A and B are shown apart, each in its own frame.
Chain A
Amino acid sequence: MMEQPPETNASTAVEERLLPGQAPVLTPGHTLETVTDKIVSIVLRRPVTLGWLGGFAFFFGLLNMMLFAAAYLFYRGVGIWGINIPVGWGFAIINFVWWIGIGHAGTLISAILLLLKQGWRNSINRFAEAMTLFAVACAGLFPIMHTGRPWLAYWLFPYPNTMGVWPQFRSPLLWDVFAVSTYATISALFWFIGLIPDLATFRDTATNPVAKTIYGLLAMGWRGSARHWKRYESAYLLLAGLATPLVLSVHTVVSFDFAVSILPGWHTTVFPPYFVAGAIYSGFAMVLVLAIPIRRFYGVEDMITMRHLDNAAKVMLGTGLIVAYGYLMEAFYAYYSGSAYEFFMMRNRALGPMAWAYWTLIFSNILAPQLLWIRKVRWNPLMLFGISLIILFGMWMERFVIIITSLYRDFLPSSWGTYVATRWDYAIFAGTLGLFFSAMFLFVRLLPMITIFEMRMLLPQAKLSEEVASHD
Chain B
Amino acid sequence: MTEPALHGVVAEFTTPDGLVSACRQAHAAGYRRMDAYTPFPLEEVAEAIGFEKTQVPLLTLIGGILGGLSGFMLQYWVHVWAYPLNVGGRPLNSWPSFIIITFEMTILFAGITAVVGMLALNGLPQPYHPIFNHPRFSAASRDRFFLCIEAADPRFELEETTRFLQATQAVDVAEVAD
- Encode contact with B along A456-469: 1 for CB under 8 Å, 0 otherwise: 11000111110011
Chain A residues numbered 183-207 whose CB sits less than 8 Å from any CB in chain B: 185-186, 189-190, 192-193, 197, 200-201, 203-205
The one of B40, B90, B126 that contacts A453, using a Cβ cutoff of 8 Å = B40
A259 CB within 8 Å of chain B: no
Q: Is the beta-carbon distance between A465 and B17 smaller than 8 angstroms?
A: yes
Q: Is the beta-carbon distance between B40 and A166 smaller than 8 angstroms?
A: no
Chain B residues near A (Cβ < 8 Å): 15-17, 20-21, 23-24, 35-46, 49, 51, 54, 56-57, 60, 64, 74-75, 78-79, 82-83, 85, 87, 90, 94, 97-98, 100-101, 103-105, 107-108, 110-112, 114-115, 117-119, 121-122, 124-129, 131-132, 137-143
- Given A169-B101, A185-B112, answer yes or no on A226-B51 (Cβ-Cβ < 8 Å): yes
Q: How far is the CB of B156 from chain A (nearest CB, A)?
A: 18
**Given known contacts A178-B105, A235-B114, A457-B41, what 14 new A-B pairs fall within 8 Å (CB)?**
A158-B74, A175-B104, A182-B108, A189-B111, A193-B118, A201-B141, A221-B126, A224-B141, A226-B49, A228-B122, A230-B41, A242-B111, A461-B15, A471-B24
The one of B16, B82, B105 that contacts A166, using a Cβ cutoff of 8 Å = B82
Chain A residues numbered 202-256 whose CB sits less than 8 Å from any CB in chain B: 203-205, 220-235, 238-239, 242-243, 245-246, 249, 253, 256
Q: Which bucket holds chain A's interface residue count?
A: 35 or more
A315 CB within 8 Å of chain B: no
Q: Is the beta-carbon distance between A189 and B46 smaller than 8 angstroms?
A: no
CB-CB < 8 A to A158: which residues of B? Answer: 74, 78
For the complex, give the distance between the alpha carbons of A189 and B116 in Å: 10
Q: Is the beta-carbon distance between A239 and B111 smaller than 8 angstroms?
A: yes
- Nearest B residue to A469, CB-CB: B44
- Given A233-B41, A234-B56, answer yes or no on A170-B94 (Cβ-Cβ < 8 Å): yes
A32 CB within 8 Å of chain B: yes
Q: Is the beta-carbon distance between A169 and B97 smaller than 8 angstroms?
A: yes
Q: Is the beta-carbon distance between B83 and A226 smaller than 8 angstroms?
A: no
For the complex, give the distance between the alpha carbons of A227 and B49 in Å: 9
- Nearest A residue to B96, CB-CB: A170
Of B38, B41, B79, B119, most buried by chain A (CB within 10 Å of CB) is B41
For the complex, give the distance between the alpha carbons of A192 and B118 in Å: 13
For the complex, give the distance between the alpha carbons of A309 and B108 in Å: 32
CB-CB < 8 A to B60: which residues of A? Answer: 235, 238, 242
CB-CB < 8 A to A205: which residues of B? Answer: 138, 141-142
For the complex, give the distance between the alpha carbons of A203 and B74 in Å: 43
For the complex, give the distance between the alpha carbons of A36 and B138 in Å: 12
Q: How far is the CB of B147 from chain A (nearest CB, A)?
A: 9
For the complex, give the distance between the alpha carbons of A339 and B79 in Å: 35
CB-CB < 8 A to B35: which residues of A? Answer: 225-227
- Nearest A residue to B78, CB-CB: A166
- Encode contact with B along A277-307: 1 for CB under 8 Å, 0 otherwise: 0000000000000000000000000000000
Q: Is the beta-carbon distance between B115 and A235 smaller than 8 angstroms?
A: yes
Q: Is the beta-carbon distance between A226 and B36 smaller than 8 angstroms?
A: yes
Q: Is the beta-carbon distance between A223 and B37 smaller than 8 angstroms?
A: yes
A380 CB within 8 Å of chain B: no
CB-CB < 8 A to A232: which residues of B? Answer: 41, 118, 122
CB-CB < 8 A to B108: which residues of A? Answer: 182, 185-186
Q: Is the beta-carbon distance between A182 and B78 smaller than 8 angstroms?
A: no
The one of B38, B78, B101 that contacts A178, using a Cβ cutoff of 8 Å = B101
Q: Is the beta-carbon distance between A464 and B16 smaller than 8 angstroms?
A: yes
For the complex, give the distance between the alpha carbons of A167 and B101 in Å: 12
- Given A170-B90, A221-B124, answer yes or no on A249-B103 (Cβ-Cβ < 8 Å): yes
Q: How far is the CB of A193 from chain B (nearest CB, A)?
A: 6
CB-CB < 8 A to A190: which residues of B? Answer: 111
Task: List 24 A-B residue pairs with CB atoms under 8 Å apart, sorted by A's residue number.
Answer: A158-B74, A165-B83, A169-B75, A170-B98, A174-B101, A175-B101, A186-B107, A189-B112, A221-B128, A223-B37, A225-B122, A229-B45, A231-B118, A232-B118, A232-B122, A234-B57, A238-B57, A242-B60, A456-B39, A457-B41, A461-B15, A464-B44, A468-B17, A471-B24
For the complex, give the distance between the alpha carbons of A220 and B128 in Å: 10
Q: Is the beta-carbon distance between A234 and B118 smaller than 8 angstroms?
A: yes
A41 CB within 8 Å of chain B: no
A179 CB within 8 Å of chain B: yes
A7 CB within 8 Å of chain B: no
Q: Is the beta-carbon distance between A226 and B39 smaller than 8 angstroms?
A: no
Q: Is the beta-carbon distance between A226 and B45 smaller than 8 angstroms?
A: yes
